[in-house]
């Protein structure tokens, strides 16, 4: 089969086939546009935080799992956890020790324990708005 014959064989023949094809193409374009828009908004939020919030390098002293939800399923349920880290950092000339919950997706206990093992003793970045020094977030890699 030549290239021309193959192209003719896969082309939509009826009007309804062409409408369906354009509908699929439209949905793909819409999905790509939504993903790009979300990425742009996320990047702008990150830039705004980096420019207007104060930050410090912190050491993760301890890590603990915290139960955040219980997921039920047909074959049983699962407890989902997030991590809280005890960070030590210097802010405005004073030494700070604070438990901060890491804003990540909840995971099963085994995954949470693995992260806790990897993070303990590591360095991270803590950030807080100048107007609210009590609202601290931690950025852990």
* Sequence spans of domains, the chain: 3-49, 53-139
* Three-state secondary structure call for residue 140: coil
In angstroms, how far is CA 1 from the centroid of its own chain?
A: 48
Contact yes or no for 87/98 (Cβ under 8 A): yes
At residue 91, the pLDDT reads 84
What is the mean pLDDT of the segment spanning 120-136?
87
Long-range Cβ contact pairs of 131-134 (< 8 A, separation 24 or more): 133/54, 133/91, 133/92
Mean pLDDT over 97-107 rounds to: 88
65 close to 81: Cβ distance less than 8 angstroms: yes
pTM, to two decimals:
0.63
Q: How far apart are CA 89 and CA 98, in angstroms?
A: 9
Record: fold of 53-139: OB fold (Dihydrolipoamide Acetyltransferase, E2P) (2.40.50)
Overall average pLDDT of the 25-43 stretch: 96
């Amino acid at each position: 089969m030549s290239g021309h014959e193959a192209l003719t064989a896969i082309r939509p023949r009826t009007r309804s086939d062409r409408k369906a094809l354009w509908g699929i193409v439209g949905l793909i374009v819409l999905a790509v546009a939504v993903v790009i828009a979300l990425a742009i908004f996320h990047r702008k939020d990150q830039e705004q935080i980096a420019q207007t919030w104060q930050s410090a390098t912190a050491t993760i002293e301890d890590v603990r799992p915290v139960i955040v939800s219980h997921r039920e399923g047909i074959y049983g349920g699962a407890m989902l956890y997030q991590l809280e880290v005890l960070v030590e950092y210097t802010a405005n000339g004073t030494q700070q020790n604070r438990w901060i919950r890491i804003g990540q997706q909840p995971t099963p206990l085994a995954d949470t324990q693995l992260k806790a093992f990897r993070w303990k003793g590591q360095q991270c970045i803590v950030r807080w708005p100048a107007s609210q020094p009590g609202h601290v977030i931690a950025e852990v890699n």
